[in-house]
Amino acid sequence: MLRVGYIGLGLMGSAMARNLMKAGYPLVVHNRSRGIVDQLVAEGARAAHSPKEVAEQVDVVFTNLPDSPDVEKVAIGENGIIAGAHDGLIFVDNSTIKPETARKLAVDLAKAGIVALDAPVSGGQIGAQQGTLVFMIGGPKEAFEQLDPLWKAMGKSWVLVGDSGAGQIAKAANQIMVAAQMAAMGELLVFAQKSGVDPFKVVEAIKGGAAQCWTLDVKPPRLAQGIRTPGFKAHMQLKDLNIVLDTGETYHAPLPLSEVTREMFKDMIDHGDGEQDNAAVLSVLERKTGIHVGPDAPKP
């Protein structure tokens, strides 16, 4: 059985690590803060004190970190994964980072004999907890196929999109759609409320037709209960939109809608709501209209 390491145990990473343990894989974990490490050790994992120490003990090491510089530091920095290189080691990054960073890391790690896969995910905290994530993967086909049982332990879908960096291109494309859906949902909810109609009845009416999407299936019930906690944090959505627009600039791809949605998320974060769920972007429109959508809103 493959020996597995996981580095970066936030909302997503800790849930994914737990699903690997549930599937029976011996797990070595490392995280900057120790609280979650201690929890996972109590559940059967083994602790390591550096990325190097994780890499030395496993066949596959996963990372799930906030941004490109964090992944670079853990992968190729001092006491990084590259320092624990050994024959057969596979590096899998579940973070959302710049495609060009993923391609550079694949080259740098290959020099030490490490095979790299960029494998960002979609599905949020709920998908991570339930093992229903979608993996978008770039890198060598042989390594991708070797890890088939690990994808299965954590997700419901895993697709090899192309060579190194292709997984991150797919995730950027995913975030174009996600951000647009969150903004559109917020707009329709505020529009309905402002027009004197129950916004959640509107959702019930339209989600069986052409407007149907994951966002309308999952997010309105939480908003109707006044729940705006993540989920997927708004400041991370903004980070991903910055990656989208930077990558569009690199490849000369116009992204006018993403420019608009980025401004909405920037406005949200500028008002101190960056820790809320990305669906809470409707707050930008609530401030403009002076209304509130949720259980304490006036009934139309």
Catalytically active residues, by annotation: 171
Side chain identity at 69, as an amino acid letter? P
User: CB–CB of 30/65 below 8 Å?
Assistant: no
Peptide bond connecting 231 to the previous residue in cis, omega within 30 degrees of 0: yes
- Please count the residues of the chain: 300
- Reduced to 3 states, what is the DSSP secondary structure of residue 59? coil
Query: CA-CA-CA-CA torsion for 135, 139, 145, 147, nearest 10 degrees?
Result: -60
- Reduced to 3 states, what is the DSSP secondary structure of residue 208? coil
C-alpha to C-alpha distances, 187 to 230, 255, 279, 282, nearest whole angstrom? 19, 20, 11, 7
Of the candidates 130, 114, 223, 116, the residue with the CA atom closest to the CA atom of residue 168: 116
User: CB–CB of 138/118 below 8 Å?
Assistant: yes
User: CB–CB of 81/60 below 8 Å?
Assistant: no
> What CA–CA distance (Å, rounded) separates 180 from 206?
17
Of the candidates 37, 18, 21, the residue with the CA atom closest to the CA atom of residue 29: 37
Which tokens belong to 124? Answer: 């949020």
> What CA–CA distance (Å, rounded) separates 164 from 90?
13
Which tokens belong to 293? Answer: 């959508």
